[in-house]
A and B are shown apart, each in its own frame.
Chain A
Amino acid sequence: MNIMKLAWKFFVSKKSRAFFSILGVALGVMLLVISQILILTVERSNEYTLREKYGNYDMLVGYQTDKHHLTEDDITFINQIPGVKNSTPLLYPYIGEKMKIPEIAALPMYVGFKNDPLAKEHPFLNIDKGTFPKGNEVILPVRYLKSNHLEIGSEIELPFPPGNHKQKVVISGTLKQNEKLENIAVFDYDWLSKVTSNKGKATVLMLKLEDSASKEKINQMIKSKYPDIFIDNRTEMEKERENIGGLKPFIHTISISALAGSFLIVVSTLQMAILERKRELATLRLIGIKRYQLTLMVIFESMVIGLIGATVGILLGIVLSFLSQRVVEQLMGFSIVGIVIPWKSLSLCAVSGIVITVLAGIIPGYLASKLPPIVAYKQNEPSLDKYSFLVRWLSPILFIASIAVSIFNYLYTKGPEWIYLLTGLCFLLSMFMGIPVILYLTVKFISFISKPFLGPEALLAGRNALRQMRKNIQIAGILMLAFVIGLTGYLLFSSIAIQAEKDIKTRYPMDYKLQATDSSLEPGFSKSLEEQMKQIEGVSSISIPTALFGLTLNLDQNHIKNWNGQLFDINGEKQIHMSLRAININEVTKLHSIKVLEGTIDQRSLRNDGVIITKNLKKLGFQLGDYIQIGRYDEVMKGKNAGHRFKIVGIIDKMPVLPSDEYTAYTDQENLGKYFKINTIEQIQYNISNPSLSSVIQKKIDNLLNHPDFSNVILYDRQKELLTLHRQVQQRLFILLATVILTIFLGIIGLMNNMASSLRERSREFAVLRALGSRPNQVVRLALLEGVIISLAGGLIGIISGLVFGYHVLAGLEAKEYLFPWQIVLIELIISPLIGIAAALIPSIWISRMNLIKTLYQE
């Protein structure tokens, strides 16, 4: 008989252990396979979604002002770059200067497209009704048509500066209702270029590449010839593509957990196999088998486990992927076009599984070969007193150092955020390395605190658990890994979600917003909408009157350096654009609170030509008590208006209903009407105070908005934004949950294997207990308790490690929101003992039913 035949005999002699080992590897490979299939399938589905969302093109190359253009030669050069599949030109005749040309400042942005398939991928060419413009035709936003009482087929006159140059154009269609398309007017490229004297020129070239991987190279070639050119690499789209909507890193976590978990399971199983077969292996050594042959036997066994496990894992992974398609769709929140099997990746998964298993066999194989025969005959487990250097020294040093540095950094040095990530990782590493000691102490602690409740059973179970410590280190490691992933992931997602929700609530301070979207500098709708809204019962609203689109006229020239935006030359001095808004302080303070930094927010003071300014305007030199002179933009630009002076009576942090308005002055509505003839409303923010009437109220508001007078009003629903956010969070939490559950499942398999093996070893002890009068259920309880203690210990270590590491990750990523995940900690505390019960149940029932006599008298 040769070594391999002997190894095979050993392998099949213990079928249950072989089964568990194969199952452990199969599960790990299955997870890898599912994650690979998921990645590719989601990538494909996402690609369709991205193309719908962003359009199927790869780059935009051009200029952002009308001073520079791409000539015909430029376009030819770019088209001939290797990797460029095709292109289409876009013309923005007035880009960058539109605001300076009063005739078109208030009109939609003119843009010319060619009527080709690539151009139609551009988000601007989202035609709702009508046809692509030919000749002197134009497509306009639907709101523009409604507010100007126009329709498809109407003829209008539009200015085409310079000078008083006007053209008659026919409306050939409308654009889809979309925030981004509200200020776009689409023309035929050839006609627009002729009319604006830009024949043969393009502002931007849209490119489709042969392969998006060549983007960087093409980028460099264009930049080398045109250093000042602007290139939009569509990084947002690229990021989404690469991250599959931000999911790829989380899907990779599954792969890593799967590999780590499987590795630990196989090491644990093979080590156990060696411990169980000590006597047999020692006998082999006694009769002359060489050490390397013993190692080979163990490695052979691990190879068999790897081969069978990998095969089973791949099959399971493919089947489960198909079966779970609908579930994944529902939980991920987008439709999957079809399961895609990446055969190359799967082959790699199989090979990885086998390689990992063989590697996992090397450690136990080496240990088996080092076993002196005489030691193998001893009945006792090797003592845990002799810890390795790692456990004895490195782990506690790393533990103390990481905590100390972290605390010191937090309290004193307040250094860069990466220190927290580093100390967090060091802490986690120290916990993993120190599992033997930490597990030992935790088990002792649990036995101690459970003794008053469970009596001597806890004592016996606890001591047996300690006796099995060496076998359970890897299992505790798996459970710890699961809980660390769960807690850290949850902390991260929750923090991001809370911050994102706050950002949404900043953008939408109230549940709903009615926004004027006519394309003018001072959009607004009639006050009658406000009056009608106030008549609807159950609605609490705040009206934001139309703001003056203004320019300062007395900016302190010494403070110009604090301004990052555009400067306007007015009478030899630099001025900035700012808004002057009317505000009803009483209305605002009914629903929000205003943080006053200096002065007053009294409405009467505002009425007396007073303004309150936001704190950012202070940086530009405006102080409490100063006067600020503001003029209407287009009038100032034409030199017609000297504006009006207002006294600064108060300085606030921000206006809660308009938190993103950073450079704004607020005054009374009377002043806007008196000095600037502004009497319209720009926004109405409202809440529905009686949720049960929500659908009725919304219907009333929808009816109001259908009136032609309010055709320039769009309704924005904060809830929709929040729902999108929640859907994204749900996707990530689903992947996190799947990872945690599967890792825990690996732990259960491993623990079940360990329990079965250890109970088998101690079957005689349990037989003695039965002989002495123990009932079968008492034996079951003892065995279950042992499993519970081990899993609870692993769980506790995992919870503490997860919390500490999680907070470090948050600090390292400069998170603004920290929370204590009570529910998750509680769930994990409840799950931990249940894991032990699940793992120990079958082995404990088996041991309670063993043949008493046979077991008592076994050698």
Chain B
Amino acid sequence: MSAILEAKSLNKIYGEGNNQFYALRDVNLKVNKGEFLAVMGTSGSGKSTLLNMLSGLDRPTSGEVFLDGISLTSASEAELTKLRGEKIGFIFQFFNLIPVLTAEENVSLPLFILGKYDDQARKKAVDLLNLLGIGRLASSRPSDMSGGQQQRVAIARALITEPKMILADEPTGSLDSRTSKEILDILRHFCDEMNHTIVMVTHDAKVASYAHRIIFMEDGKLIDELNFKNSNQSVSQRVVEITRRIERELV
């Protein structure tokens, strides 16, 4: 399997001299196409910082990031913006939908930004909403939807440009357990059936158990990894395994 995303010797340092702080230390990572990767760690471990590097929202102090063979670290601001629009999909914890737009318009937003908002785009958006089971809400605004429905709209938005990679930052952080399960099933489905690549940041073991592979971060370093790709373990077994790893790290 080819690596769609590669990070080499990533370092992110804040401050100067004696006040330097390493948010990331020498992180090396490869994500293959169609892989569902979860990044776990406690607060301040560097997982969100890593996500920002991988998405091009921030630049590392040193090291390189390659997305689909293109170096993000040497791209200009304009190139990064373009790359984000074309090759990366985002799913946020607080959904970040535009309140004044309908569900269909929110989903089509990336195409609108790229200047490709036409009838075809609208149809594609509605198809995605149908696929996610909320086609009937195409003309509704976010204020008229539940959290789960809004997150589904956000997922559809992340998928509309057929990105190389989807980055999800605590995608179920604002949802109840039942809705979270629905959302994670959807994400897992897109990976397994449609070969999308997802990198998800979470602190929740149950959420992380849906991933193919989990990497653990602490103090800016990658310290451990669990691979469930070809595993037959049940969800609860995975959760136990993950929890054991976390506890081991804590000790």
Given A456-B112, A853-B58, A772-B100 contact (CB < 8 Å):
no
Q: Kindly supply a per-residue 1/0 record for chain B positions 47-64, scoring 1 wherever the CB is within 8 Å of any chain A CB and 0 otherwise.
A: 010001001011000000
User: Contact: A463 with B100, CB < 8 Å?
Assistant: yes
User: Contact: A771 with B101, CB < 8 Å?
Assistant: no
**A505 interface contact, C-beta 8 A:** no
Given A467-B100, A764-B96, A772-B57 contact (CB < 8 Å):
no
User: Contact: A772 with B101, CB < 8 Å?
Assistant: no
Given A778-B113, A853-B57, A853-B58, A768-B82 contact (CB < 8 Å):
no
User: Contact: A460 with B58, CB < 8 Å?
Assistant: no
Given A456-B117, A764-B96, A857-B48, A773-B101 contact (CB < 8 Å):
no
Interface of B is mostly: helix
User: Contact: A773 with B81, CB < 8 Å?
Assistant: yes
User: Contact: A765 with B96, CB < 8 Å?
Assistant: yes
Nearest chain A CB to B178 CB, angstrom units = 23
Within A802-859, the residues touching B (CB, 8 Å) are: 852-853, 856-857
Given A456-B112, A773-B110, A775-B78, A768-B86 contact (CB < 8 Å):
no
Nearest chain A CB to B250 CB, angstrom units = 25
User: Contact: A773 with B78, CB < 8 Å?
Assistant: no
**A333 interface contact, C-beta 8 A:** no
Nearest chain B CB to A194 CB, angstrom units = 96
Q: Which listed residue (B48, B85, B92, B98) contacts A773, Cβ 8 A?
A: B85
Q: Which listed residue (B52, B92, B112, B114) contacts A768, Cβ 8 A?
A: B92
Q: Which residues of A contact B81 (CB under 8 A)?
A: 770, 773-775
Given A463-B100, A773-B81, A852-B57 contact (CB < 8 Å):
yes
Within A758-804, the residues touching B (CB, 8 Å) are: 764-765, 768-775, 778
Nearest chain A CB to B187 CB, angstrom units = 19
Q: Kindly supply a per-residue 1/0 record for chain A positions 451-472, scoring 1 wherever the CB is within 8 Å of any chain B CB and 0 otherwise.
A: 0000110011001101100000
User: Contact: B101 with A460, CB < 8 Å?
Assistant: yes
Docked CA distance A857–B58 (Å): 13
Nearest chain A CB to B41 CB, angstrom units = 16
Q: Which residues of A contact B113 (CB under 8 A)?
A: 769, 772-774, 778
Q: Which residues of A contact B55 (CB under 8 A)?
A: 771
Docked CA distance A774–B78 (Å): 10
Within B59-93, the residues touching A (CB, 8 Å) are: 78, 81-82, 84-86, 90, 92
Q: Chain A interface: which size bin?
A: 20 to 34
User: Contact: B99 with A467, CB < 8 Å?
Assistant: yes
User: Contact: B84 with A772, CB < 8 Å?
Assistant: yes
**A380 interface contact, C-beta 8 A:** yes
- Interface Cβ pair total, 8 Å cutoff: 62
Q: Which residues of A contact B84 (CB under 8 A)?
A: 771-773
Q: Which listed residue (B86, B90, B100, B117) contacts A455, Cβ 8 A?
A: B117
Q: Chain B interface: which size bin?
A: 20 to 34
**Which B residue sits closest to A859, measured CB to CB?**
B94
Q: Which residues of A contact B109 (CB under 8 A)?
A: 769, 772
Docked CA distance A771–B109 (Å): 11
Q: Which residues of A contact B112 (CB under 8 A)?
A: 456
**B243 interface contact, C-beta 8 A:** no
User: Contact: A853 with B52, CB < 8 Å?
Assistant: yes
Docked CA distance A625–B239 (Å): 124
Nearest chain A CB to B199 CB, angstrom units = 15
Within A437-489, the residues touching B (CB, 8 Å) are: 455-456, 459-460, 463-464, 466-467
Q: Which residues of B contact A853 (CB under 8 A)?
A: 52, 57-58
Nearest chain A CB to B113 CB, angstrom units = 5
**Which A residue sits closest to B49, measured CB to CB?**
A853
Q: Which residues of B contact A770 (CB under 8 A)?
A: 81
Docked CA distance A852–B112 (Å): 20
Within A718-751, the residues touching B (CB, 8 Å) are: none
**B143 interface contact, C-beta 8 A:** yes
Choose among A459, A771, A775, A852 the residue with the greatest number of B CB atoms under 10 Å from its CB: A771
User: Contact: A772 with B117, CB < 8 Å?
Assistant: no
Nearest chain B CB to A470 CB, angstrom units = 14
**Which A residue sits closest to B158, measured CB to CB?**
A772
Q: Which residues of B contact A764 (CB under 8 A)?
A: 96
Given A853-B57, A853-B58, A773-B100 contact (CB < 8 Å):
no
**Which B residue sits closest to A467, measured CB to CB?**
B100
Q: Which residues of B contact A778 (CB under 8 A)?
A: 113
Chain B contact residues, CB within 8 Å of chain A: 48, 52, 55, 57-58, 78, 81-82, 84-86, 90, 92, 96, 98-101, 105, 109-110, 112-114, 117, 143, 157
Extra A-B contacts (10), CB below 8 Å, given A771-B84, A778-B113: A380-B99, A463-B101, A467-B100, A768-B90, A768-B96, A772-B110, A772-B157, A773-B85, A775-B81, A853-B57
Q: Can you sample 19 A-B contacts with CB below 8 Å?
A: A379-B143, A380-B143, A460-B100, A466-B100, A765-B96, A768-B90, A768-B98, A769-B113, A771-B84, A772-B113, A773-B84, A773-B86, A774-B113, A775-B81, A852-B57, A853-B52, A853-B57, A853-B58, A857-B48
5 closest A-B pairs (Cβ-Cβ)? A773-B85, A463-B100, A768-B96, A456-B112, A773-B113
